[in-house]
Structure 1
């Protein structure tokens, strides 16, 4: 190996060694500053997480109220208006809740995102709406001319017998719960009221728009409470609270 080659290799090594040496000296001299910066960033992130959790605890009652009023459906705009805070925060909050409760999201016609949370009330409404109508068994028609020796019985409305048929024992026990416990949110859905009145859900559905529904429900209610139906909320409210 010639002297020129050795000299060029030595210069190249020095070119690499000098920056590395300066970097090592800089890190040794300023490591306390870098450590303080890292700890400051970690403390800031922990503080942000803590303040977010505290804020979520304040928003939870508003969220639960909207879920109850809107049958499990909510948009970031609804939450932002109700809580009087920015829409970006409302969207972040709903994304967190959707991940926590496995909620589904649907895009509305105007392009906004709607969050659908499945609750016991919405699930009961879905089951009520999917309940197949009870079909009456076909009875053979026997005329008096064909069998003159038979006396035709007094006609009894079959539908009325179905409506007044006692419900199974678990449903009767459910109807015996105190009214204060059943009215935890101030109203009952169709399936809950049917259990309380000891009738089928389809019976409540057919009678809910009748003018005499409050009086009819009063005769069925174990506490003598009259009920009225709200088309807006699809729920039932006591028509005369305070009476028994």
Structure 2
């Protein structure tokens, strides 16, 4: 029986075929706007059960190496800036510097989504007034229908791009922090290892970095929901008038009672 000269302690390396990249990396503006770049994967999933090799790999800008490099570069530039050394919270400002454009774009999408939700009841009120008119105008009816179509399209696209952008930015934040904490743990001194146990480091990677990854979505949802509530009350007063007060009083009481539990 022949035995090869290969060392048995060495792992057997097998070359895996390189998976294709996601189509979002070279998709056109229209494909990105309508999410058409994901259609081939959906068609494949409709024809068969998707396996792991059917899922395309990430684009380069979504990989952890690039996310960590951008975070490290931003961290170093903030530390070198004398005016920002007094601010503290280097992690927050480094993440904000790297993902500022994504956060602004997500904020615009969240604002458009909020406006579409607020405008929809006004259009419904306009349709009711139009149906109650004695003389119907075709131009006015077509204008209302066109406004309804535009509002629904803008609301649908803005909502989907909002969730996609915030989830993608949160994933990049999470990857950058996980790599940074892991590399920091490898370089800890003996005193640092006594201060931060292995369980704490695992919590930093698994729990805290995950919470930071959820920050973009919940941050925009927080201010948009508050603004949406204010605009909804204004619209309610504009349509109903003072009669909206009896309905707002129980709403405010229930909201204040829920604050301790929330």
TM bucket by the smaller chain? under 0.3
Larger gyration radius, structure 1 or structure 2: 1
Instruction: Using structure 1 for the length normalisation, give the TM-score.
Output: 0.21
Which structure: greater helix fraction?
2
Instruction: Using structure 2 for the length normalisation, give the TM-score.
Output: 0.20
Which structure: greater strand fraction?
1
